[in-house]
Amino acid sequence: MTGARSLVTVRRAHAADAGGIAAVHAEVWRNAYAGILPAGYLARLSPARLAAGYRRSLSLREPGHAVFVAVGPDPEAGFRTIGFVSGGRARRPLRDGAAPQGEVETLYLLDDWREQGVGRRLMRAIAAHLAAIGCRSAFVWALSDNPSTHFYRRLAGRLAARERIAFAGAEVEQSAFLWSPIEALLAATAPAPRREIEG
Ligand SMILES: CC(C)(COP(=O)(O)OP(=O)(O)OC[C@H]1O[C@@H](n2cnc3c(N)ncnc32)[C@H](O)[C@@H]1OP(=O)(O)O)[C@@H](O)C(=O)NCCC(=O)NCCS
Protein backbone atom coordinates (compact mmCIF):
# COMPACT_ATOMS: atom_id res chain seq x y z
CA MET A 1 0.00 0.00 0.00
CA THR A 2 3.05 2.27 0.12
CA GLY A 3 2.51 5.24 -2.19
CA ALA A 4 -1.24 5.06 -1.73
CA ARG A 5 -0.98 6.86 1.59
CA SER A 6 -1.14 10.25 -0.11
CA LEU A 7 -4.68 9.24 -1.14
CA VAL A 8 -5.80 8.72 2.46
CA THR A 9 -8.22 11.31 3.80
CA VAL A 10 -9.21 11.83 7.42
CA ARG A 11 -12.61 13.36 8.07
CA ARG A 12 -15.44 13.51 10.61
CA ALA A 13 -17.62 10.39 10.49
CA HIS A 14 -21.36 10.35 9.70
CA ALA A 15 -24.01 7.73 10.48
CA ALA A 16 -23.49 6.34 6.94
CA ASP A 17 -19.92 5.38 7.97
CA ALA A 18 -21.18 2.91 10.61
CA GLY A 19 -20.79 -0.17 8.38
CA GLY A 20 -17.22 0.71 7.39
CA ILE A 21 -16.27 1.48 10.98
CA ALA A 22 -17.74 -1.81 12.23
CA ALA A 23 -15.84 -3.80 9.58
CA VAL A 24 -12.55 -2.21 10.71
CA HIS A 25 -13.43 -2.79 14.38
CA ALA A 26 -14.09 -6.53 13.88
CA GLU A 27 -11.05 -7.12 11.64
CA VAL A 28 -8.61 -5.24 13.86
CA TRP A 29 -9.86 -6.80 17.11
CA ARG A 30 -9.50 -10.33 15.69
CA ASN A 31 -5.86 -9.62 14.84
CA ALA A 32 -4.71 -7.20 17.54
CA TYR A 33 -6.36 -8.98 20.49
CA ALA A 34 -5.69 -12.62 19.50
CA GLY A 35 -3.91 -14.18 22.48
CA ILE A 36 -4.98 -11.30 24.75
CA LEU A 37 -8.79 -11.76 24.73
CA PRO A 38 -10.64 -15.11 24.66
CA ALA A 39 -10.78 -16.65 21.14
CA GLY A 40 -14.53 -17.41 21.48
CA TYR A 41 -15.30 -13.77 22.21
CA LEU A 42 -13.34 -12.62 19.14
CA ALA A 43 -14.98 -15.26 16.90
CA ARG A 44 -18.43 -14.06 17.98
CA LEU A 45 -17.79 -10.40 17.08
CA SER A 46 -20.54 -9.48 14.65
CA PRO A 47 -19.90 -6.61 12.21
CA ALA A 48 -23.69 -6.25 11.73
CA ARG A 49 -24.30 -5.85 15.48
CA LEU A 50 -21.33 -3.51 15.82
CA ALA A 51 -22.61 -1.44 12.88
CA ALA A 52 -26.01 -1.02 14.55
CA GLY A 53 -24.31 0.29 17.71
CA TYR A 54 -22.09 2.70 15.78
CA ARG A 55 -25.06 3.90 13.69
CA ARG A 56 -26.98 4.66 16.91
CA SER A 57 -24.13 6.57 18.54
CA LEU A 58 -23.21 8.49 15.36
CA SER A 59 -26.87 9.52 14.94
CA LEU A 60 -27.12 10.63 18.58
CA ARG A 61 -24.23 13.09 18.17
CA GLU A 62 -23.60 13.27 21.91
CA PRO A 63 -22.22 16.77 22.74
CA GLY A 64 -18.44 16.87 22.70
CA HIS A 65 -18.10 13.38 21.28
CA ALA A 66 -16.53 12.87 17.84
CA VAL A 67 -15.51 10.06 15.49
CA PHE A 68 -13.06 10.53 12.62
CA VAL A 69 -12.51 8.03 9.82
CA ALA A 70 -9.53 7.45 7.58
CA VAL A 71 -10.63 6.52 4.06
CA GLY A 72 -8.16 4.95 1.65
CA PRO A 73 -8.05 3.46 -1.85
CA ASP A 74 -9.26 -0.12 -2.23
CA PRO A 75 -8.79 -2.26 -5.37
CA GLU A 76 -12.34 -3.67 -5.18
CA ALA A 77 -14.46 -0.95 -3.61
CA GLY A 78 -12.64 2.11 -4.96
CA PHE A 79 -12.37 3.58 -1.47
CA ARG A 80 -13.08 2.12 1.95
CA THR A 81 -12.78 2.95 5.63
CA ILE A 82 -9.31 1.85 6.75
CA GLY A 83 -9.29 3.21 10.30
CA PHE A 84 -11.08 5.36 12.83
CA VAL A 85 -10.65 7.16 16.13
CA SER A 86 -13.22 8.34 18.66
CA GLY A 87 -13.17 10.47 21.78
CA GLY A 88 -14.76 13.15 23.88
CA ARG A 89 -14.80 14.51 27.41
CA ALA A 90 -13.39 11.91 29.79
CA ARG A 91 -15.95 9.27 30.77
CA ARG A 92 -14.01 8.77 34.02
CA PRO A 93 -11.33 11.43 34.64
CA LEU A 94 -7.84 10.11 35.25
CA ARG A 95 -7.21 12.67 37.93
CA ASP A 96 -9.28 14.82 40.24
CA GLY A 97 -9.10 18.46 39.32
CA ALA A 98 -10.92 21.32 37.74
CA ALA A 99 -9.37 21.17 34.27
CA PRO A 100 -11.54 19.26 31.79
CA GLN A 101 -9.85 16.17 30.42
CA GLY A 102 -10.33 14.57 27.05
CA GLU A 103 -10.28 10.85 26.39
CA VAL A 104 -9.34 9.02 23.23
CA GLU A 105 -11.79 6.11 23.41
CA THR A 106 -10.92 3.98 20.37
CA LEU A 107 -8.26 3.96 17.65
CA TYR A 108 -8.11 1.19 15.06
CA LEU A 109 -6.35 0.86 11.73
CA LEU A 110 -6.30 -2.08 9.28
CA ASP A 111 -3.06 -4.09 9.32
CA ASP A 112 -2.13 -3.23 5.70
CA TRP A 113 -2.13 0.46 6.49
CA ARG A 114 0.14 0.46 9.56
CA GLU A 115 3.39 2.41 9.88
CA GLN A 116 2.48 4.95 7.21
CA GLY A 117 1.50 7.81 9.47
CA VAL A 118 -2.28 7.24 9.39
CA GLY A 119 -2.49 6.51 13.15
CA ARG A 120 -0.69 9.77 13.86
CA ARG A 121 -3.11 11.66 11.58
CA LEU A 122 -6.11 10.16 13.36
CA MET A 123 -4.61 11.12 16.74
CA ARG A 124 -4.06 14.63 15.38
CA ALA A 125 -7.73 14.88 14.39
CA ILE A 126 -9.04 13.80 17.79
CA ALA A 127 -6.48 15.94 19.68
CA ALA A 128 -7.55 19.03 17.72
CA HIS A 129 -11.20 18.20 18.47
CA LEU A 130 -10.55 17.70 22.19
CA ALA A 131 -8.58 20.96 22.39
CA ALA A 132 -11.41 22.76 20.54
CA ILE A 133 -14.00 21.63 23.11
CA GLY A 134 -11.83 22.95 25.94
CA CYS A 135 -9.96 19.87 27.17
CA ARG A 136 -6.65 20.88 28.78
CA SER A 137 -5.19 17.37 28.73
CA ALA A 138 -5.96 14.04 27.09
CA PHE A 139 -5.46 10.38 27.85
CA VAL A 140 -6.07 6.95 26.38
CA TRP A 141 -6.41 3.51 27.97
CA ALA A 142 -4.67 0.65 26.16
CA LEU A 143 -4.27 -3.00 27.08
CA SER A 144 -0.76 -3.19 28.59
CA ASP A 145 0.18 -6.17 26.37
CA ASN A 146 -0.85 -4.32 23.20
CA PRO A 147 2.01 -3.03 20.99
CA SER A 148 0.01 0.19 20.55
CA THR A 149 1.50 1.22 23.92
CA HIS A 150 4.78 1.83 22.01
CA PHE A 151 2.88 4.03 19.54
CA TYR A 152 1.46 6.17 22.37
CA ARG A 153 4.92 6.48 23.95
CA ARG A 154 6.32 7.44 20.54
CA LEU A 155 3.72 10.24 20.45
CA ALA A 156 5.04 11.49 23.82
CA GLY A 157 2.27 9.94 25.91
CA ARG A 158 3.34 9.50 29.55
CA LEU A 159 2.36 6.36 31.44
CA ALA A 160 0.04 7.75 34.12
CA ALA A 161 -1.92 4.79 35.55
CA ARG A 162 -2.25 1.02 35.46
CA GLU A 163 -5.20 -1.09 36.54
CA ARG A 164 -6.57 -4.60 36.21
CA ILE A 165 -10.02 -4.90 34.69
CA ALA A 166 -12.45 -7.62 33.67
CA PHE A 167 -12.84 -7.37 29.93
CA ALA A 168 -14.57 -9.66 27.43
CA GLY A 169 -14.45 -12.57 29.87
CA ALA A 170 -10.77 -12.16 30.75
CA GLU A 171 -8.86 -10.32 33.47
CA VAL A 172 -6.39 -7.98 31.78
CA GLU A 173 -4.17 -5.07 32.70
CA GLN A 174 -4.64 -1.71 31.02
CA SER A 175 -2.37 1.32 31.03
CA ALA A 176 -3.31 4.98 30.67
CA PHE A 177 -1.13 7.31 28.62
CA LEU A 178 -1.49 11.01 29.34
CA TRP A 179 -0.73 14.20 27.44
CA SER A 180 -0.78 17.15 29.83
CA PRO A 181 -1.06 19.78 28.56
CA ILE A 182 -2.89 18.62 25.43
CA GLU A 183 -0.43 20.73 23.39
CA ALA A 184 2.08 17.89 23.93
CA LEU A 185 -0.16 15.65 21.77
CA LEU A 186 -0.78 18.39 19.20
CA ALA A 187 2.99 18.90 18.88
CA ALA A 188 3.73 15.16 18.58
CA THR A 189 1.13 14.78 15.82
CA ALA A 190 1.87 17.99 13.91
CA PRO A 191 2.17 17.37 10.16
CA ALA A 192 5.78 17.20 8.96
CA PRO A 193 6.84 20.37 7.14
CA ARG A 194 6.89 19.98 3.34
CA ARG A 195 10.40 19.43 1.98
CA GLU A 196 11.57 22.18 -0.35
CA ILE A 197 12.59 20.90 -3.78
CA GLU A 198 16.24 21.72 -4.32
CA GLY A 199 17.33 22.61 -7.76
C1 LIG B 1 -1.77 1.76 17.08
C2 LIG B 1 -2.00 2.11 15.62
C3 LIG B 1 -3.25 2.97 15.48
C4 LIG B 1 -0.78 2.89 15.08
O5 LIG B 1 -1.07 3.36 13.77
P6 LIG B 1 0.05 3.53 12.62
O7 LIG B 1 -0.56 4.25 11.49
O8 LIG B 1 0.72 2.25 12.37
O9 LIG B 1 1.11 4.50 13.34
P10 LIG B 1 1.99 5.64 12.62
O11 LIG B 1 2.51 5.11 11.32
O12 LIG B 1 1.23 6.91 12.57
O13 LIG B 1 3.19 5.73 13.65
C14 LIG B 1 3.59 6.92 14.36
C15 LIG B 1 4.94 6.59 15.02
O16 LIG B 1 4.74 5.53 15.98
C17 LIG B 1 5.57 4.41 15.63
N18 LIG B 1 4.81 3.17 15.89
C19 LIG B 1 3.60 2.84 15.38
N20 LIG B 1 3.22 1.62 15.84
C21 LIG B 1 4.25 1.20 16.62
C22 LIG B 1 4.48 0.01 17.35
N23 LIG B 1 3.57 -0.97 17.40
N24 LIG B 1 5.66 -0.11 18.04
C25 LIG B 1 6.58 0.88 18.02
N26 LIG B 1 6.40 2.05 17.34
C27 LIG B 1 5.26 2.18 16.65
C28 LIG B 1 5.86 4.57 14.16
O29 LIG B 1 7.06 3.92 13.78
C30 LIG B 1 5.97 6.07 14.01
O31 LIG B 1 7.24 6.50 14.44
P32 LIG B 1 8.00 7.80 13.79
O33 LIG B 1 7.54 8.96 14.63
O34 LIG B 1 9.44 7.49 13.97
O35 LIG B 1 7.57 7.92 12.37
C36 LIG B 1 -2.16 0.82 14.76
O37 LIG B 1 -0.98 0.06 14.88
C38 LIG B 1 -3.34 -0.04 15.16
O39 LIG B 1 -4.48 0.22 14.75
N40 LIG B 1 -3.10 -1.12 15.94
C41 LIG B 1 -4.11 -2.12 16.26
C42 LIG B 1 -5.25 -1.59 17.07
C43 LIG B 1 -4.82 -1.04 18.39
O44 LIG B 1 -4.07 -1.65 19.11
N45 LIG B 1 -5.35 0.17 18.67
C46 LIG B 1 -5.09 0.85 19.91
C47 LIG B 1 -6.10 0.44 20.90
S48 LIG B 1 -5.87 1.32 22.42
What's the 198 CA to ligand 1 centre distance in angstroms? 31
Contact 154 CB / ligand 1 (< 6 Å): yes
Average pLDDT over residues 41-51: 95
Q: Which of 114, 118, 189 to mutate to test the pocket of ligand 1 (most atoms within 8 A of CB)?
A: 114
Kindly give the number of the ligand 1 atom that is closest to the alpha carbon of 32: 41
Q: What is the DSSP letter of 16?
A: G
Kindly give the number of the ligand 1 atom that is closest to the alpha carbon of 114: 8
183/194 Cα distance (integer angstroms): 21
> What top-level class would CATH report for the domain 4-188?
alpha beta
Contact 150 CB / ligand 1 (< 6 Å): yes
Nearest to 9 by CA among 65, 66, 68, 58: 68
Q: What is the pLDDT of residues 152-185, one digit of tens each?
A: 999 999 999 999 999 888 899 999 999 999 999 9
Contact 36 CB / ligand 1 (< 6 Å): no
Residue nearest to atom 35 of ligand 1 (CA): 117
Residue 2 in this model has a pLDDT that exceeds 70: no
Average pLDDT over residues 36-50: 92
Model-wide pTM > 0.85: yes
Which residue ranges make up each domain of the chain?
4-188
Cβ 88 vs Cβ 66: under 8 Å: yes
Q: What is the pLDDT of residues 59-102, one digit of tens each?
A: 998 999 999 999 999 999 899 999 999 999 999 988 767 677 99
Buried b / exposed e over 97-110, threshold 16 CB at 10 Å, is eeeebbbbbebbbb
Cβ 93 vs Cβ 101: under 8 Å: yes
Where does the pLDDT of residue 1 fall: very low under 50, low under 70, confident under 90, or very high at 90 and above?
low
Specify the pLDDT at position 199.
Answer: 46
Where does the pLDDT of residue 143 fall: very low under 50, low under 70, confident under 90, or very high at 90 and above?
very high
Kindly give the number of the ligand 1 atom that is closest to the alpha carbon of 109: 39
Specify the pLDDT at position 158.
Answer: 96
